[in-house]
């Protein structure tokens, strides 16, 4: 018997063309919705007023003192600082000029001095300067070859011995060793030309530091910057310190409040009080629950799918805030001077019912616990309430060169060492030079007696290590004032013998050469990377600033140099 197959489709059919019924979104169990609202705490609000008017008063005090290095009660080295004329990064990061790696500056400044003297009618002094201060292109330092490229060779061929070395003239002028050259022409004109030339040198090229001038804030044992700044404050001096600044961009969270002083303020630091009357704006974030019934929420972030375990309190609290309290946050902009320490004195909030409420006063903040976001921590007491915010005089945007030096610090578990690996070093002409890794020489038996039977294996005390790899060995040391009183370990540079050249391996670049002893915890399992870059920025007063600084970045894991001890290998390998 044949079967009869039939199809039926169930679909809604409206009796009328009216859409009001569908838009009403009627529910069959309103008590269930009311119970859910009760469970979520939606009926616990004191009132339904929303802020419609906010009045804010803030006080600010400009930064006035700077000191490189870790904070201490010693005020030696502290200088006056004006954030309206100079960003803070050049004071922290500016590297001293190394004449042996600054051929470009030496030649450029020397040519500029010769042109200025010729224009001033002092052409007779130019040969004297070239004879006494010739630009000498040397490819060695204290008997050690310096890595160079074709660019350095061309530089030496074009300018070697043919122009004046500007940096040498600047040093001689500082030591008053130009008396006979000054006497060869008009002394007053010569002094005027030299003053203008030095002003150009220090202004345009930012040549303000050398080994005899103020040092920067680099801490060689920590491989990061440390400095202190202070402001006259609001009655008492506000001193702040940064002990772990990596050079990648300064912000308020890099500094902490400390007790102490950086000495008397030598300049009249600005201070003031600002009042604003503003309209609040709701704070939003991606995935925020919609506050209207028919609003379609962002499907890219699903807060309901977050998986949190019974002990994962932080994730549960963040989810609860995002779901329940997200519509309760508002924002108002308050403009404050760059390079100052600010404090919110009071905030008066007026809601839709006309009720004015004073919140967030500096005097009551410690009592009412009204929030501590974006305020300084205190070194001596991490939970202390300090209602201060640093508006850092930092450069948000600028031009940065490609790395001039690049050094990796990585651990090698096979050799039980850490390595400082040079990838790029600063060449004499001021450009980055790649360090060639080289290759091992095959085991040689040329001097082996011919009458003796040839051995099957050759013994090596240690195998070959690629060029640019500097060993760091963990050594125990006793703690000092900085490290504490407990015994700990430091990574110390070890000696490595280059058997092919029969000499000890030395660092080729400036970064690796200064790595002598560092704290072991600084080189973690993922390692770290040190880079040296040039930076050019324009400040708020229109001035430009150029400096060379260091940056500390994350590494790329462990490495293996291929170093083995007490190894035997067949000849020719």
Same domain, 158 and 288: no
Residue 110, domain extent: 99-204
Q: Does some domain include residue 72?
A: no
Q: What percent of the chain has pLDDT over 70?
A: 82
Is residue 293 over pLDDT 80? no
Structure tokens at 482: 């900085």
Q: Does some domain include residue 65?
A: no
Structure tokens at 362: 């500096």
Instruction: Work out the average pLDDT over 137-156.
Output: 72
pLDDT of residue 210: 43
Least trusted range by pLDDT, from 3-17, 113-127, 502-516: 3-17
Instruction: Work out the average pLDDT over 519-531.
Output: 91
Same domain, 414 and 548: yes
Same domain, 413 and 561: yes
Q: Does some domain include residue 166?
A: yes
Domain boundary among 204, 238, 272: 204
Q: What percent of the chain has pLDDT over 90?
A: 23
Domains of the chain: total? 3
Is residue 2 over pLDDT 70? no
> 385 versus 67: which is more confidently predicted?
67
Least trusted range by pLDDT, from 124-138, 281-295, 326-340: 281-295
**288: alpha, beta or left, given left = phi > 0 and alpha = psi -120 to 50?**
beta
pLDDT digits (tens, 9 = 90+) for 472-509: 999 988 765 455 556 678 999 988 877 666 677 888 88
Quick one: pLDDT band at residue 6, thresholds 50, 70, 90? low
pLDDT digits (tens, 9 = 90+) for 260-277: 888 777 556 788 999 999
> 391 versus 19: which is more confidently predicted?
391
Is residue 4 over pLDDT 90? no
Least trusted range by pLDDT, from 79-83, 179-183, 281-285, 454-458: 454-458
CB of 93 within 8 A of CB of 247? yes
Backbone φ and ψ for 490, nearest 5 degrees, come out as: -125, 150
Domain boundary among 204, 225, 247: 204
Domain boundary among 294, 328, 362: 328
Burial class (CB in 10 A: 0-12, 13-18, 19+), 277: exposed
pLDDT of residue 212: 40
Is residue 206 over pLDDT 70? no
Same domain, 543 and 407: yes
CA distance 467 to 561: 10
Neighbours of 137 (CB within 10 A): 20
pLDDT of residue 566: 80
Question: Dihedral sign, CA of 93, 548, 85, 343?
Answer: negative
Instruction: Work out the average pLDDT over 280-298.
Output: 78
Least trusted range by pLDDT, from 170-184, 301-315, 320-334: 301-315
Task: Tell me the pLDDT of the chain averaged across its residues.
Answer: 82
Same domain, 463 and 318: no
Instruction: Work out the average pLDDT over 450-466.
Output: 77
Is residue 213 over pLDDT 70? no
Q: Does some domain include residue 512?
A: yes
pLDDT of residue 481: 46
Q: Does some domain include residue 373?
A: no
Q: Does some domain include residue 484?
A: yes
Is residue 363 over pLDDT 90? no
Q: Does some domain include residue 423?
A: yes
Same domain, 439 and 539: yes
- Could you tell me how many residues make up the chain? 573
Is residue 448 over pLDDT 90? no
Quick one: pLDDT band at residue 440, thresholds 50, 70, 90? confident
Which residues, 6 or more positions from 110, have their beta carbon under 8 angstroms from its beta carbon?
A: 129, 133, 135, 163, 164, 165, 166, 169
CA distance 484 to 477: 11
Same domain, 430 and 554: yes
pLDDT of residue 48: 66
Q: Does some domain include residue 494?
A: yes
Same domain, 527 and 427: yes
pLDDT digits (tens, 9 = 90+) for 367-412: 666 556 677 888 777 666 778 889 999 987 889 999 999 999 999 9
pLDDT of residue 368: 64
Burial class (CB in 10 A: 0-12, 13-18, 19+), 218: buried
CA distance 136 to 155: 11
Same domain, 178 and 302: no
Same domain, 176 and 311: no
pTM to 2 decimals? 0.78
pLDDT of residue 528: 92
Same domain, 200 and 304: no
Is residue 70 over pLDDT 90? no
pLDDT of residue 214: 47
CA distance 465 to 500: 11
Q: CA neighbours within 13 Å on the CB side: how many for 560?
A: 4
pLDDT of residue 38: 82
pLDDT of residue 22: 65
Same domain, 320 and 446: no
Structure tokens at 35: 């119970």
Range from 25-39, 176-190, 200-214, 511-525 that averages highest in pLDDT:
511-525
CB of 558 within 8 A of CB of 525? yes
pLDDT of residue 415: 84
């Amino acid at each position: 018997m044949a079967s009869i197959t039939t199809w039926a489709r169930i679909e809604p059919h409206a009796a009328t063309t009216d859409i009001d019924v569908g838009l009403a979104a009627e529910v069959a169990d309103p008590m269930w919705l009311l119970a859910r609202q009760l469970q979520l705490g939606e009926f616990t609000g004191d009132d339904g007023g929303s802020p419609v008017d906010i009045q804010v008063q803030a006080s600010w005090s400009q930064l006035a003192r700077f000191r490189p290095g870790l904070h201490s009660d010693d005020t030696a080295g502290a200088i006056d600082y004006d954030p309206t004329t100079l960003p803070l990064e050049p004071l922290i990061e500016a590297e001293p000029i190394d004449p042996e790696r600054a051929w470009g500056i030496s030649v450029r400044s020397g040519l500029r001095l010769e042109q200025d003297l010729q224009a001033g009618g002092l052409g007779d002094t130019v040969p004297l300067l070239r004879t006494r201060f010739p630009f000498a292109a040397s490819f060695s330092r204290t008997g050690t070859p310096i890595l160079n490229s074709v660019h350095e060779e061309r530089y030496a061929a074009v300018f070697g011995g043919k122009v004046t070395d500007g940096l040498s003239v600047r040093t001689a002028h500082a030591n008053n060793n130009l008396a006979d050259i000054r006497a060869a022409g008009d002394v007053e004109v010569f002094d005027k030309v030299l003053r203008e030339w030095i002003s150009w040198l220090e202004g345009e090229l930012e040549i303000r530091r050398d080994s005899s001038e103020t040092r920067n804030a680099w801490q060689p044992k920590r491989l990061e910057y440390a400095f202190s700044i202070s402001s006259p404050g609001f009655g008492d001096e506000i001193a702040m310190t940064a002990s772990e600044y990596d050079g990648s961009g300064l912000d308020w969270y890099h500094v902490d409040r400390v007790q102490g002083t950086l000495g008397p303020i030598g300049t009249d630091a600005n201070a003031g009080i600002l009042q604003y009357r503003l309209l609040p704006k709701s704070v939003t974030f991606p995935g925020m629950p919609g506050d209207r019934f028919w609003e379609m929420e962002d499907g890219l972030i699903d807060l309901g799918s977050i998986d949190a375990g019974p002990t994962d309190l932080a994730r549960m609290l963040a989810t609860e805030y995002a779901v329940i309290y997200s519509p309760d946050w508002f924002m108002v902009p308050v403009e404050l001077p760059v390079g100052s320490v600010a404090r919110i004195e009071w905030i008066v909030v007026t809601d839709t019912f006309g009720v004015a409420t004073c919140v967030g006063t500096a005097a009551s903040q410690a009592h009412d616990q009204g929030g501590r976001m974006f305020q300084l921590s205190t070194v001596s007491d991490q939970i202390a309430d300090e209602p201060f915010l640093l508006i850092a005089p930092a450069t948000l945007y600028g031009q940065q060169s490609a790395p001039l030096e690049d050094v990796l610090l990585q651990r090698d578990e096979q050799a039980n060492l850490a390595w400082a690996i040079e990838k790029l070093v600063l060449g004499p002409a001021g450009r980055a030079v790649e360090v060639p890794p080289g290759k091992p020489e095959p085991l040689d038996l040329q001097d082996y007696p011919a009458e003796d039977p040839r051995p099957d294996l050759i013994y090596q005390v240690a195998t070959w290590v690629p060029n640019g790899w500097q060993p760091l060995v963990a050594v125990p040391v006793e703690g000092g004032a900085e490290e504490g009183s407990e015994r700990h370990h430091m990574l110390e540079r070890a000696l490595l013998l280059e058997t092919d050249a029969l000499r000890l391996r030395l660092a080729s670049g400036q970064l690796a050469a200064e790595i002598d002893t560092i704290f072991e915890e600084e080189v973690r399992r993922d390692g770290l990377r040190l880079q040296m870059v040039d930076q050019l920025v324009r400040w708020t007063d229109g001035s430009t600033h150029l400096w060379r600084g260091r940056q500390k970045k994350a590494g790329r894991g462990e490495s293996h140099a291929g170093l083995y001890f007490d190894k035997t290998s067949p000849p020719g390998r």
